[in-house]
Each structure stands twice: as C-alpha cells, then as structure tokens.
Chain A
Amino acid sequence: MRLSSIFAIIAVVITGGILLYGVSDFPSFGDPKSPANAAVPGSESVSQYFITKSYKDTKVPNLVTSVLADYRGYDTMFETVVIFAAGMAIFAILGSVGGESQPRVQEEESSFVDGDHSRIIVGTTCRLLVPVIQVFALYVIGHGHYSPGGGFQGGVILAASFIIIALSSDLDAALRRLSEVNYLRLACVGILIYAGFGVLCQVLESNFLDYGVLQPILLTDGPEMARSHSMLGVEIGVAFTVTAIMFAIYANLSSRGTLRDGL
C-alpha cells in the first residue's frame, strides 16, 4: 500500500467521523416540522409560501417548475449560462471551433452490407425509435407545467436522441442533422431567449424577469396566465441550450475534438 493511500484513509476517516458526529444533532429524517420545512415562530417559511401561494400566483400545478422558472428565474438563467460556459470550455480545450470551414461532403446514407445482421437490427430499431424519443422530448418540454419535466429534462432527452443516431450509424449522420454551426447557434439562441424575456420585462418598466407585465403582449387574461406562458418560453430557451451543449459535448469527446470517426 502506498503512503498516500494511508494518509487518504486517515483524512477520510477524520472527515467522516466529524460528519457522523454532527449528524446526530440533525432533525430526524422525514420530519415535517424540521426547520427547513416548517415556519420558524414569528416568520413565514419561504417553502410554505411556495406550496400554498404558488398556484394562485402563477396558475402552474407543478410547483417545481413555477419556483424554477419564476421565483428563482435569475438563478436558473445563470445555471444555463454555466452549461453554456462548460460547452465553450470543451471547445477551447479540445480545439474544434472553426477547425473546418468548408461544408461537409454530403455522403449517401450508409447502406447495409449483406449479412451484417447487427447493423440491420440495431439501425432499423433506432430509426423507429428516434422520432418517438424526439416527440417525447418535446412533450416533456411543453407539458412541464402539469407533470414532471421541463427544459432541462426535455433538452437532455432531445440530445440523447441525436446521440442514439450517432451510435447507431456514425457521428457524421448525427452531424448532418445538427451540424457544428447549428448547435453553436442553437446554444446562443437559447440563452438569448431567456435573457430576452427578462429584458422585455425591463422595457415594460418592471423588474428583470417579472413576467406579470407581459400580459398586454401575450394577450392573456390576467397576469397569472402571462407568468405561466412566459415560463413556457423560458423553458424552451433552456431546452435549446441544453440540447445543443449536451450533443456538442458528446460529439467532441467521442472524436477527440475532430468531429470525425467518433465512437
């Protein structure tokens, strides 16, 4: 056993011991009256406010979506920016942006060789499944107000459909559907949609991302429905960025940044 391994065990045991000791003072698991869940006497708890008032404010049954895109919209916007920055970091590290400027050669759809059973079975199933996955991803994005889902989940599923295309035939086939230029554009457009909603609120003389004032533009009855519809727009922006960056990460990682002959 190496010396560093012994030191590691000592450090881990000390840290874990302190944490295990601290855990014994915690409120018990699943306690509805714990300080994180219930109001401290004399003040109202923010999570209780979200549960009781969120539907009246925004007309969205899924509390997580309403908190994510409305009450904490500023936080979510910069989480999206972090994902965008991660994508940019991967382009910078693996060095692929602007690597080739001429358009990719339009090849024929790779045809199956006789006797290549695996390619036929896997390729046909993926061809059947990919449209279903993409429709399901759009359903997840759009139905996120009423059931679990939203921009992050739908974007990841949409990116996974492109990854399945890349895995079932090759990376070129996926890049023909969503090329390098297009996914960069898509990532930028997503963040611009999100920030655009905020700036639009500012133009109408209110705070950044205060969707209630968008009612005359969105032609809804009441500011609550305006908030609901703006949340949908914001989620679409998030989904654009997440789709583009997740697929870009796969495309760059699998081909060492060359975007050719990947996994």
Chain B
Amino acid sequence: MIITIISAILILLGVVFFFGAALGIVRFPDFYSRTHAAGKGDTLSSFLVILGFAVYQLKDFHSFSHDWPILLVILKLLAVSLFIFMTSPVSTHALMDAGWEDKVKPEIGEGKPNHLNDDSEKF
C-alpha cells in the first residue's frame, strides 16, 4: 500500500510538471523560450512519471529468487528515463542552434538590454 501511495505521488508530481510544460509551449512568446519549456519540463516530468511506475513494480516483489524479473523491468524503466534525459535536451539544443543559424529573432521586452538582436555578436 505504501508503495502504491509513493508511486502515485511521484506520478502526480510528473503530471503537474507536464502541465507546466504544456502551458509554456502555448504561452511563451518566442521560439527560444518555447524550446526551454519543452526541453526542461518534459524531461523532468517524464523522468518522474516513469520513476513512479518503476516504484509501483516493487509491489509484487517478495523474494529475490522468484521475483528477479521485476528488478530487470525496473532497470529497463530507469534506462528509458536515462535515455530521455540524454536525448531530449540534446535535440532541443540542436534545434535551438539551428534556430539561431536560421535567424529566428528572439523577442525582447521593452527596456531590456537588446544585445541578442545584434547579429554581429554571437555568444
């Protein structure tokens, strides 16, 4: 029972972060900030949801000799989240770099330092 509650809490936390990422994709003004929402929010929340389901697998775990396949499943689930952690930020990074090459203008508010709109200076 305690395992189910822990996993439910982790999964709900992940769903909350998914909601944040979805909100960011709609509400943010320009491409770069949307990429930021997609890269960070989705990665963390998918990690949390998958971790929650991995914890839930432990409910059938009674003894090591009978239930070792469950440990294998948990290992694979953790591998899924690890690879999402590696690939999702890299692809958003590549996209952001391509956007800079593609001359997508970032949106800067009034009165802010505006060096990002200067094409001559690439950070």
* Of B3-11, B49-57, B86-94, B106-114, the one with at least 4 CB within 8 A of chain A: B86-94
CB of B65, distance to nearest CB on chain A (Å): 20
B87→A125 contact, CB < 8 A: yes
How far, in whole Å, are A121 and B94 apart by their CA atoms in the complex?
Answer: 9
CB of B76, distance to nearest CB on chain A (Å): 10
CB of B23, distance to nearest CB on chain A (Å): 27
Chain B positions 99 through 122: 1 when the CB is less than 8 Å from some CB of chain A, otherwise 0: 000000000000000000000000
How far, in whole Å, are A40 and B36 apart by their CA atoms in the complex?
Answer: 58
Q: Which bucket holds chain A's interface residue count?
A: under 10
Say yes or no for B97: interface residue by CB 8 A criterion.
yes
Q: Which one, A122, A128, A132, contacts B94 given CB within 8 A?
A: A122
Chain A facing B: main interface SS = helix
Q: Which one, A118, A128, A129, contacts B93 given CB within 8 A?
A: A118
How far, in whole Å, are A103 and B93 apart by their CA atoms in the complex?
Answer: 36
CB of B122, distance to nearest CB on chain A (Å): 9
How far, in whole Å, are A128 and B87 apart by their CA atoms in the complex?
Answer: 11
Chain A positions 122 through 157: 1 when the CB is less than 8 Å from some CB of chain B, otherwise 0: 100100110010000000000000000000000000
Q: Which bucket holds chain B's interface residue count?
A: under 10
Say yes or no for A117: interface residue by CB 8 A criterion.
yes
B86→A125 contact, CB < 8 A: yes
A129→B94 contact, CB < 8 A: no
B97→A117 contact, CB < 8 A: yes
- Enumerate chain A residues within 8 angstroms of B90, measured Cβ to Cβ: 121-122, 125
- Enumerate chain B residues within 8 angstroms of A132, measured Cβ to Cβ: 83
CB of A206, distance to nearest CB on chain B (Å): 37
How far, in whole Å, are A129 and B93 apart by their CA atoms in the complex?
Answer: 16
How far, in whole Å, are A122 and B92 apart by their CA atoms in the complex?
Answer: 10
Taking Cβ atoms with an 8 Å cutoff, the residues of A that contact B are 117-118, 121-122, 125, 128-129, 132
- Provide a sorted-by-A list of 18 A–B residue pairs whose CB atoms are within 8 angstroms: A117-B97, A118-B93, A118-B94, A118-B97, A121-B90, A121-B93, A121-B94, A122-B90, A122-B93, A122-B94, A125-B86, A125-B87, A125-B90, A128-B86, A129-B83, A129-B86, A129-B87, A132-B83
